[in-house]
Copies of this chain bind each other. A is one copy, B any other.
Amino acid sequence: MDASLEIVVRSTEIDVNGHVNNAKYLEYLEWGREEWYERANLAYDKFLDLGIQTVTVNININYRKECLQNDRLTITTRPERLGRTSYVLKQEIHNQRGELVADALVTSVTMDSHTRTSRPVPDELARLFAHLAS
């Protein structure tokens, strides 16, 4: 399942160099992942009910093009890889001209919210990666 979110770059998101700062891209990616989880009916509360927390352990991001004020960005999120206790989402940001401005792999692990030890990815989440199985 893919999810897309469209946003507009605002003035206070522009840094001293006149474009969107590196760090801000990671906020955009987070907003995109929130959208993906919500579309998948996997809101924060759902995980809580399962006694599970997801924790981001790695982000590997390529910066391709700069973003300017008023740019309309589309953030897409889709399943990339499923492990036993971890999973990877692939995210891309395109601008209003269809240009790729950034792409990233985001690796998360699933943990027991009480013991804080790793736990298998729950079925509710794993099924979203099913089509990737060889």
What is the interface of chain A, defined by CB distance below 8 A to chain B? 10-12, 14-16, 18, 21-27, 30-31, 34, 55-63, 69
Show 27 A/B contacts (Cβ-Cβ < 8 Å), sorted by A.
A10-B27, A10-B31, A10-B34, A11-B16, A11-B30, A12-B15, A12-B21, A12-B27, A12-B30, A14-B16, A15-B15, A15-B16, A16-B16, A16-B18, A21-B27, A22-B56, A22-B59, A23-B26, A23-B30, A26-B26, A55-B63, A56-B63, A57-B63, A58-B60, A58-B63, A59-B59, A59-B61
Which chain B residues border A56 with CB–CB below 8 Å?
22, 63
Nearest CB in chain B: distance from A5 CB, A: 9
CA distance A12 to B27 in the complex (A): 6
Q: For A15, give its contact among B14, B59, B63 (CB under 8 Å).
A: B14
CB distance from A26 to the nearest CB of B (A): 4
A43 → chain B closest CB, angstroms: 10
| A56 to B: closest C-beta gap in Å | 6
A18 to B16, CA, bound (A): 5
Nearest Cβ on chain B to A114's Cβ, whole angstroms? 16
